Structure 1
Amino acid sequence: MAKRKPLIVILAVIMMVSILGACAKNNNNAGGSNDISANGADSQDKVTFTYFNANAGKDINTNETTIGKILEEQTGVNFKIEHLVGDANTKIGTMIAGNEYPDVLVPEGTIDKIVDAGAFIPLNDLIEEHAPNIKRVYEPYYNLMKAEDGNIYFLPLSAVIGEFIPAPNIEQGAFWVQRRVLKEYNYPKIKTLDEYLDLIRKYVADHPEEDLTGFLSLTTQDKFFAFTNAPMHLAGYPNDGGVIIDMETHEALDYGDEEMTKRWLKTLNGLNAEGLFDKSSFVDNYDQYLAKIASGKVLGFFDYRWQVGQSLNNLREAGNDDLDYMPLPIVFDENITDQYLEPPSFVNNRGIGITVSAEDPVRIIKFFNTLLEEENQILSNWGLEGETYEVDENGRFYRTPEQIKKTESEEFRESFGFKYFEYNWPRYGNGSTLESGNSHAANRQPEVAQASYSDGDRKLLEAYGVQTFSQLFAAPLDRPWYPAWSIPIEQGSPAQIFTQKKSDLQREYFPKMVLAPANDFEALWEEYYEEFNKLDVEVYEDTITEEVKKKIELVQGK
């Protein structure tokens, strides 16, 4: 036995050294990319997590893109991204019913259902222990991010870092008109809806052989707001959703039964009677809608730039400036000041979360943290120096004309990864600036905006006496609650039940009113108006009013 003691001692020493070495490695790497993750696997071991985005798109592995491959080299992490096919409520409802989720989820408008179902894990401790960059970016907004129980369940996509930079071009809503229409009539200055539609009428009449569509709308299940929001903008309000907020009293008014909605629907009813409205607007899916815009046959539509960007980019790539579109701040009447441009805001009911199905949330939160390193925010939005952007002697970022053309290509945006990493991840919000003073987003950098303009762009800007397209629009007024649509409404509450019933009612009646013979419009409106006012609209308005005032206090630090 005595002969075995040295061996036992040696083994004990070896085990102790191994344990101490492992502990030292763990301590030295705390918070770094080589940490031991929750399931014991070294974070440099390659891993693929699942990610579902409740928007339509092309499914892909992030490491199939240039940006995703670089991030995988840094972290060992790849994401298999699946996009929505069909209805978001149905898809998310199936997940909830089966209690089976992807590792990471961007549920868009169904986020309240996900939170209420307990599908997202709390992030507070994960951020505190493993994610200093997330804390740096989001901590100023914690009071707007925390649920009533004090937990943070998802990371919104709108945290503004640094000095706010307004967009030089239109990124949000507008009434769009084909440029050839403006060109044909010597670039008239139009402001009202009647002037806008009269121009379209005249062009269709002057080109009867071209089989043109005067006006098109988007009404698919999860994008019906593109149809119902128009009256709000025409009346001089920004996109607060289904309500307008009084600037003085901060009281909310649902405009579903207001004169502005009736006026919008009656206008479309008249367009339809003239054969200028595309009846298929109420049955086309999103892809069909985008295809029609890209076809060059549609003269006008209302929508948000981020929702039709694919079609507009395709038109620009095709190189026929006449078929491209011009955004206009159209309102009902001359005395109305438009409010299409968004003020600085924090959207706290959209974002990305880690689900209860994720087996390694530590590894995921560390990936999010890495993504928020400034050099990776530059990678996600500017790309690679010398390939997709340059830096001048003063440290200013810019793109050459060749780089601008390349980075506007949908094919390149997909392969490089801009299409997948510019949004729908923890990120610096729109309008943010980098530590260098450059814009976080390339398209908001003045040098890029100016250099990106085509000859057709410059001709339009010169004709209207502005340097950028956003200068045609009125400056946004300060709205500390903005946007009201980001206010969470509790599932099953009277306010939420109202919104669902209202949506069902409008989906039933709005197509009827637009497509009906002109003589039937008033009767249909009265019928709809009566049904609308049977709903508990006051409880919804009171809820939004109360929450708007709360949000103002939170924003103001009260």
Structure 2
Amino acid sequence: MLKPLLKTTGLAVLLASLLAGCNSSSSSPGASPAAEKDDNSPVTFSYYMFSSGKKDTLASETTIGKELQQQTGVDWKMEYLVGDSATKAGVMIASGDYPDVIASSGEMSKLLDAGAYIPLDDLIEKYGPNIKKVYGPYFDKMRNPEDGKIYALPYTANQGEYSGSPNVGGGAFWIQRSVLKEFNYPKITTLDEYFDLIEDYKEKHPTVDGAETIGFVSLAGVANNFFTLQNPAMHLAGYPNDGGVMVDTKTHVARTVAGTEEQKRWIKKLNEINAKGLLDPESFTMNKDQYLAKLTSGRVLGYFNYAWQIGDASKNLLAAGIDEKRYAPLPIVFDSSIKDQYIDPPGFVNNYATGITVNAKDPERIIKYFDNLLKEENQILIQWGIKDQTYSVDEKGRFYYANDEQRKIHDDVELGRKFGFTYFSNDWPRYGGESTLSDGNAFSPGNQPEVVASTYTEGDKKFLDAYGIKTFSELFNKPEERPWFPAWSIALEQGSPEQVFTTKSDDLQRKYLPEMILGAPSNFDKIWNDYMAEFNKLDKAGYEKKITEVVQNRVAGKW
């Protein structure tokens, strides 16, 4: 088991200095005479996030939250999802017991249909100059098609020049670097090559620290993460993450991933590796914490996932300091003739957003907080932190990490929670992640070339040199333009035939895909045929027609 090797004394000193710095008037971004006229009396609101993997806390218990509280008087009781999001949303709706604010993470249409959110148009007009500045160009894409009103503030309103990530923040087939090193850093492109390499390594190294080496692991047992089993089929076929569909770039016609030859090919490959003992049998039973612990253990050779889902494991492996046990992202496809499209093109998502509920005690105060949060100096605070403490600025005005202590506050899991990066970098009204600040710096530190260059370890550099590249994203093809992207943001009315199709389709996949994967290879075709017999009873054609219609409307500029 690889454990983080942390120097607690130095970190304690760092945290003390950070907290002390935040109590100083000189480190209060956003303060202005106009702000002093607002009601800054103490108040605490409730904020529920339909995202998991974070500990419930008060915003004021973080450095960022405390700083924002000093500016506004507002504190937040932040609560995160435990269990299934659809179930939690259903309970909220049935009881009518809503917090002041909800970040939807995919439950937006259900909550909207239930009347959980209030319209924000008048509040924005009266109290939201910064909201209008950030979201103004996107207002037409944010309006509810039923009444033309704005109910929530999304997280993808990119500002300035588009700033792509030098590293891979999305989906990939990840492989332990020791596997690549063992075979002198080969170039592998196809799914067969990927699993052949893992199989060869596992044969040579059957155990790690006395425990069995795990060839490949999935997070498919966690209800809200089942898409990590569904999505690889589209990526292997050369499509980005458009959700449950693959959209032709020329005709703009959408077709489901479920029930296709692409899905069959992917699931059959998992059946084959399972029969060889390469697939972790707990892939369909363990929870997310157990999954992340396995990735951190050094026993897992490969997995498919999105980088944002495994951030804590990545940080812990980095802190442990053993580069060979860290993972490298690979753009794996079915056949070498396929052009990978793992990296997302620029897009706008309007249904993963934050809204004020009908139970909110003081919507005016809340919208003012959000407006203050969207000042550029506060957007810098939630991403970069405090100048000269968590980042520095060079003579050219470029942001960077001047030392290991600055870098550590961003990379270490517990320090990130204490400072607030873990809590404030997502699930709040914010600039889109690919934004550029007004001075040309990247909004996201992970997109800043100076930061990326300084954070590469000797192991990173050795890997990049072996493949003749300067950043990990150079392993991947650049994204093609997709004006509709992402299709998974298309809102489906609750109870509509299309929404019913997605629910029943997902239910069938949850039932049959694990059975296909874990069963004997001789039974695969029979189970696939049983699955398709049930799947073909669903209105796939109606669903594809609807998604195609919305995609083509978006291409025409109609959102």
TM range, smaller chain: over 0.9
Q: Within 1, Cα distance between the matches of 2:125 and 2:36?
A: 18
Alignment of 1:28-427 (within 5 A): 32-34=34-36, 43-56=39-52, 57-148=54-145, 149-210=147-208, 211-219=212-220, 220-402=222-404, 403-427=406-430
Amino acid at match of 2:100: D
1:454-476 CA-to-partner distances (Å, cap 9, x unmatched) read: 00000000000100000110000
- Structure 2, unpaired ranges of 5+: 1-30
| Aligned partner of residue 256 in structure 1, secondary structure | coil
| Aligned partner of residue 376 in structure 1, secondary structure | helix
| Aligned partner of residue 366 in structure 2, secondary structure | helix
1:79-114 CA-to-partner distances (Å, cap 9, x unmatched) read: 010111111111111110111100010121211110
CA gap 1:124/1:212 in 2 versus in 1, 3 angstroms: same
Q: Within 2, Cα distance between the matches of 1:353 and 1:434?
A: 25
Asked if structure 1 preserves the Cα contact closer than 8 Å seen for 2:384 and 2:390, the reply is yes
Cα deviation, residue 520, structure 1: 0.2
Amino acid at match of 1:51: Y
CA gap 1:35/1:549 in 2 versus in 1, 3 angstroms: farther
Amino acid at match of 2:519: A
Cα deviation, residue 117, structure 1: 0.5
Amino acid at match of 2:51: N
Amino acid at match of 2:355: G
Give the corresponding residue for 2:525.
Answer: 522
Amino acid at match of 2:413: E
Q: Within 1, Cα distance between the matches of 2:385 and 2:409?
A: 12
Q: Within 1, Cα distance between the matches of 2:552 and 2:40?
A: 47
Q: Within 1, Cα distance between the matches of 2:35 and 2:77?
A: 20
Give the corresponding residue for 2:23.
Answer: none
Q: Within 1, Cα distance between the matches of 2:552 and 2:240?
A: 18
Asked if structure 2 preserves the Cα contact closer than 8 Å seen for 1:143 and 1:554, the reply is no
Give the corresponding residue for 1:7.
Answer: none
Cα deviation, residue 31, structure 1: 11
Asked if structure 2 preserves the Cα contact closer than 8 Å seen for 1:53 and 1:106, the reply is yes
Q: Within 2, Cα distance between the matches of 1:376 and 1:109?
A: 26
Aligned residues: 522
1:115-140 CA-to-partner distances (Å, cap 9, x unmatched) read: 11010000011001001000000010
Q: Within 1, Cα distance between the matches of 2:200 and 2:143?
A: 53
Give the corresponding residue for 1:17.
Answer: none
Q: Within 2, Cα distance between the matches of 1:544 and 1:197?
A: 34
Asked if structure 1 preserves the Cα contact closer than 8 Å seen for 2:409 and 2:419, the reply is no
Larger radius of gyration: 1
Amino acid at match of 1:49: F
| Aligned partner of residue 174 in structure 2, secondary structure | strand
| Aligned partner of residue 407 in structure 1, secondary structure | helix
Q: Establish whether residue 483 from structure 1 lines up as the match of residue 486 from structure 2.
A: yes
| Aligned partner of residue 335 in structure 2, secondary structure | coil
1:333-368 CA-to-partner distances (Å, cap 9, x unmatched) read: 010000001111111111100000101000000000
Asked if structure 1 preserves the Cα contact closer than 8 Å seen for 2:104 and 2:351, the reply is no
| Aligned partner of residue 516 in structure 2, secondary structure | helix
| TM-score (norm: length of structure 1) | 0.92
Q: Establish whether residue 429 from structure 1 lines up as the match of residue 423 from structure 2.
A: no
Q: Within 1, Cα distance between the matches of 2:433 and 2:359?
A: 31
Cα deviation, residue 32, structure 1: 4.3
Q: Within 1, Cα distance between the matches of 2:206 and 2:378?
A: 52
Asked if structure 2 preserves the Cα contact closer than 8 Å seen for 1:67 and 1:380, the reply is yes
CA gap 1:120/1:541 in 2 versus in 1, 3 angstroms: same
Cα deviation, residue 257, structure 1: 1.0
Cα deviation, residue 255, structure 1: 1.9
Cα deviation, residue 35, structure 1: 5.1
Asked if structure 1 preserves the Cα contact closer than 8 Å seen for 2:218 and 2:304, the reply is yes
Q: Within 1, Cα distance between the matches of 2:243 and 2:85?
A: 18
Amino acid at match of 1:390: S
Q: Which moved more, 1:305-314 or 1:280-289?
A: 280-289
Asked if structure 1 preserves the Cα contact closer than 8 Å seen for 2:64 and 2:382, the reply is yes
- Structure 1, unpaired ranges of 5+: 1-28, 37-42
1:154-191 CA-to-partner distances (Å, cap 9, x unmatched) read: 10100000000110000000000001111111101100
Q: Within 1, Cα distance between the matches of 2:458 and 2:403?
A: 12
Cα deviation, residue 322, structure 1: 1.1
